[in-house]
Structure formats: structure tokens, C-alpha cells
Amino acid sequence: MLSDHPVLEFLNTIPMVDGKLQDLLQNDADVVSALTRFGWPTTFEGTGLLTVARNVREELRRLVEGRKAGSPLELARLNAFLARAWSYLELNQDRTRSLAVRRVWEHRTPEQVLAPVAEAAAELLAAGDFELVRRCEGESCVLWFYDRTKSHHRRWCSMASCGNRHKVAAFRKRSRKA
């Protein structure tokens, strides 16, 4: 995961491509596969997931940006959303008879499908280190990441794209001066 946090990865499903925002979520199946990839195994039989996912994504983006800016946050919408989650604990035993507890989320409605994302976002907003939650410094890049490097000097969504573009631009600047 480039962003090093599943909630930021979810925000990053609408990157800037050739100067235009491109939404990688285009239908319900895209949402199911994205959430599964980000660590929330998801199944969904109903309809209307895409609209709810996009709404939640923009709500979470607003909160992450507000938290980053140190602004007072309007939490009512997220809290209303959290109240619609449906989850329970399940106890499992493996072959060595050791026990493990895991949380299971119901996936009957779009809101229930997005519940683990909203819960993880609430945890991130409350307990995340927002010195380390940053937006890529790439010009016109909109991607977020959680800087988990030892030095905490991460600046780019990825070295291969924005980092490299910056290096090339800096090199051109230097050679023009020379």
C-alpha cells in the first residue's frame, strides 16, 4: 500500500492523472475489490454501494484535511454513519487449539459495507499522528500518505512517480544554471 494506511488508501482512489482527477471507483464491484485489497474482506449483493462509498470518501477527506489543518471538525455526519454499523466478535480456534477473536461486519447495506472504513477513519482522526499524515508534495498531486519511515522525511506518494519527477525537475534547474 503506497499510502501506508488503509483509510488514506481509500482517499487516494481518486488520483490526478494528466491534470485531471480520475475516480478509480466506477461501480459497486470496484468498491468491493478496493476494500478487499485495503484489508477489509468484502462481499455485497445489493445495489447503491458506489454512491455511498463516494459520499463517505469525500466526508472522510474533509475530516482528514480539517484535522491536518487543525480546524474544528464537524463530526455529526461521520457519527451518524458510525451508528449504522453492525458488527460482532467471533471466537475461533485453530488446530493447535489457540483461540483468536476477530470482528465480523455485516454487509447487508452499503452503509454496513463502509462501516469498517469509517471506524478506521475515526481511529485515525483520534489517535493518528497528523505530523506524519501528509499530502504528497508533488505539484498537482492529491495523494495522502502516513509517513512510517524512520527519519520521518517522506515527501512523496511514491519515489517512482512524484519523487522522480521532482528529481528530474531539480536536475534541469541545476543544469540551466550551470
Closer of 49 and 136 to Zn ion (Cβ): 136
CA distance 113 to 40: 9
* Residue 108 backbone class (left: φ over 0; alpha: ψ -120 to 50; beta: rest): alpha
Helix and strand totals (H; E) in the chain:
6, 6
Nearer to Zn ion, 11 or 162 (CB): 162
Q: Which of 111, 138, 146, 154 binds Zn ion (CB under 5 A)?
A: 138
If binding is defined by CB under 5 A, does position 141 make contact with Zn ion?
Answer: yes
Give the nearest distance from C-beta 8 to Zn ion in angstroms: 12
14 binds Zn ion (CB under 5 A): no
Binding of residue 56 to Zn ion (CB under 5 A)? no
Q: What string marks each residue from 32 to 51 as x (binds Zn ion by CB under 5 A) or -?
A: --------------------
| Cell numbers linked to 144 | 495522502
Angstrom CA distances, 138 to 16, 71, 104, 119, stand at 11, 24, 38, 29
Q: Which residues bind Zn ion (CB under 5 A)?
A: 136, 138, 141, 143, 157, 162
